[in-house]
Amino acid sequence: MLSKTDKELIKKAYDTVKHVSEREFGNVVVAHVGVALRTKKGNIYTGVNMECKCDIGSCAEHHAIALMIKNNEHDIDIIVAVDRNGNIVPPCGRCRELIYQVTHNHDVNIIVLHSKKVTLKQLLPKIWEETYYKDVK
Ligand SMILES: [Zn+2]
Q: Is the dihedral of CA 126, 98, 74, 48 positive or negative?
A: negative
CA 19 to each of CA 32, 33, 66: distance values in angstroms, whole numbers, following the listed order? 11, 11, 19
* Ligand 1 center from residue 92 Cα (angstroms): 4
pLDDT for residue 15: 95
Q: What is the mean pLDDT of each run of 10 residues along the chain (137 residues)?
A: 96 92 74 95 96 89 98 98 96 96 96 96 88 67
- Where does residue 31 fall: left (phi above 0), alpha (psi -120 to 50 degrees), or beta otherwise? left
pLDDT for residue 1: 87
Q: What is the pTM of this model?
A: 0.91
* Ligand 1 center from residue 101 Cα (angstroms): 14
pLDDT for residue 137: 56
* Ligand 1 center from residue 31 Cα (angstroms): 13
pLDDT for residue 97: 96
CA 90 to chain centre: 8
pLDDT for residue 29: 78
* Ligand 1 center from residue 60 Cα (angstroms): 7
* Ligand 1 center from residue 95 Cα (angstroms): 4
Residues in the 5 Å CB sphere of ion ligand 1: 59, 92, 95
